[in-house]
Amino acid sequence: MTYLADRPVYAQDCFIGAHPGHRRSLRVYTETAWASIFARNLFRRPPAADLKAFAPSFTIIDVPSFQADSATEGTRTGTAILVNLAAMEIIIVGTEYAGEIKKSAFTVMNYLMPDEGVLPMHSAANVGKDGESVVFFGLSGTGKTTLSADPERSLVGDDEHGWGDDGVFNFEGGCYAKTIRLSPMYEPDIFATTRRFGTLLENVDLDPVTRELDLDSDRFTENTRGAYPLHFIGNADPTGMAGQPTNVVLLTADAFGVLPPISRLTADQAQYHFISGYTAKLAGTEIGVKEPQATFSACFGAPFMPRHPGEYAAMLAERLERHGVRAWLVNTGWTGGPYGTGERMNIDHTRAMVRAALSGALDDVPTVTDPIFGVEVPASCPDVPAEVLVPRATWADPVAFDRQANALARMFVENFAAYADGVPESVRVAGPRVVDDGGPALRVAGPGEG
């Protein structure tokens, strides 16, 4: 506070949570005007009448130019995101990355919501004309924003939701989309926001003379972002609320190229993969990541989940059973080989598979059980070549595929050991089957690295 005493500070009063019975009021103080606009874009804007007597449930203080002193304050570096759940205060220092503002607010909601019977989720959600919603779980870069922005469905939100007794609701009022290599052909709605007044573009490259954007450039980082209000997406649901989900989709970007592009999960398998929270980080996505590496982040958001993962998983299991929800694992990563050898999944094929799953077109299709991961893989899917559905068939060297698949299976098992005591036996055995080939285990990123 002494540091800020003679400096201008910007303030935004916002809501987080579209459901009136579960929302919280939030005051965000920022050192920069653009970060204040970020908060206005990402959180929900209270009506003028609510601002007259606004009292924040919690407060965020964002001061990028202040560097924490590791020697006297016990932080690892000059950058720190400090959450005090007793005082309901958050302090962010030493970083201009605006994502810390939204993720710290998400962390508070993840702490509060289970006591109100709401499952907080790092997920996207959209809703069909019938009012039934779909939840897309996934870490950054797995396709939550891209796949949820479906012109045939209304977007509820792209990143943070709650699942309560009367359906799902968005925590936010905006979207924070990755813009690296964004395509006007495949992601037209999101691409259009990058040209729209009011969108904040973060870490993007632009020509200093012409001001033309280069969304293909990773000169600063792969983690380029666009922050915009939800209504910038033409088919966004203005209420931020939808009915009970009929399908849950767990997204992963498997850079090792061995997971099927789509598979049906049992309820136990859904819990296993929810707790595992697997994807593969690529070079440039995070500081220090020089080559693809497996990342397991419990509940697809371990750093932002203050309670034990088993508590969130139990809430998910109860909802899957109560509402008869179908669960799917969708790999948006690589096929025909690992990163560097194979190629990224065709987005048109992925969209076709997801639409088929949601419409029920895959319900009666014969399936093949994956011999290592144990999931049920459809033998056919409309508008998708049959050979794409079986990853082993896309590799030039089947023996190399088997070796890679078994290595990933071992990583799943090693990671899940930390949570095995907190889940039923049926969930513990729902993971992949490891064949002991004596091969080396690949590196597993720690829980805090997701």
Residue 129 lies in a domain: no
Cβ–Cβ contacts within 10 Å for residue 26, how many?
27
Same-domain pairing of 300 and 445: yes
Residue 191 lies in a domain: no
* Whether residue 443 has pLDDT greater than 60: no
Residue ending a domain, choose from 86, 116, 146? 116
Closest CA to 112 of 10, 21, 34: 21
Residue 205 lies in a domain: no
* Whether residue 440 has pLDDT greater than 70: no
Residue ending a domain, choose from 66, 93, 116? 116
According to the 3-state scheme, what is the secondary structure of 158-185?
A: CCEEEEECCEEEECCCEEEEECCCCCCC
Task: Indicate which CATH number applies to the domain containing 414.
Answer: 3.90.228.20
When comparing pLDDT for 40 and 150, which is higher?
Answer: 40
SS3 state at 367: strand
pTM of the model: 0.90
Residue 199 lies in a domain: no
Single-letter residue type at 342? G
Banded pLDDT at 180 (limits 50, 70, 90): very high
Residue 217 lies in a domain: no
Q: What is the pLDDT of residue 290?
A: 53
Task: Indicate which CATH number applies to the domain containing 69.
Answer: 3.40.449.10
In order, the DSSP letters of 232-267 are GSTTB-TT-EE--EEEEEEEE--TTS-S-SEEEE-H
Banded pLDDT at 140 (limits 50, 70, 90): confident
Over residues 172-185, the mean pLDDT reads 93
Residue 156 lies in a domain: no
Tokens of 215: 């969304």
* Whether residue 444 has pLDDT greater than 50: no
* Whether residue 287 has pLDDT greater than 80: no
Residue 217 CA to residue 201 CA, distance in Å, equals 13
Contacts from 208-216 at CB under 8 Å and sequence distance 24+?
215/179, 215/180, 215/181, 215/182, 215/191, 216/180, 216/181
Q: How large is the angle between the packed helices 33-42 and 99-112, nearest 10 degrees?
A: 40
Structural domain total, the chain: 2
Specify burial of residue 283 (Cβ count, 10 A radius: 0-12, 13-18, 19+). Answer: middle
Using only C-alpha atoms, the chain has a radius of gyration, in whole angstroms, of 22
At 392-417, the pLDDT tens digits run 999 999 999 999 999 999 999 999 99
Residue 334 lies in a domain: yes
Distances from the Cα of 367 to the Cα of 104, 269, 430, angstroms: 42, 16, 17
What proportions of the chain, in percent to the nearest 5, are helix, strand and coil?
30, 25, 45
Residue ending a domain, choose from 116, 134, 158? 116
Mean pLDDT of the chain: 92
The contacts of residue 20 (CB under 8 Å, 6+ apart) are none
For 362, the domain range is 244-449
Residue 139 CA to residue 254 CA, distance in Å, equals 12
Residue 37 lies in a domain: yes
Same-domain pairing of 105 and 251: no
Banded pLDDT at 441 (limits 50, 70, 90): very low
Same-domain pairing of 280 and 429: yes
Specify the range with the lowest mean pLDDT, choosing from 185-189, 248-252, 384-388, 399-403: 185-189
Q: What is the pLDDT of residue 19?
A: 97
Pairing of strands 241-242, 154-157: unpaired
Pairing of strands 326-331, 293-296: unpaired
Same-domain pairing of 111 and 248: no
Q: What is the pLDDT of residue 214?
A: 95
Banded pLDDT at 91 (limits 50, 70, 90): very high
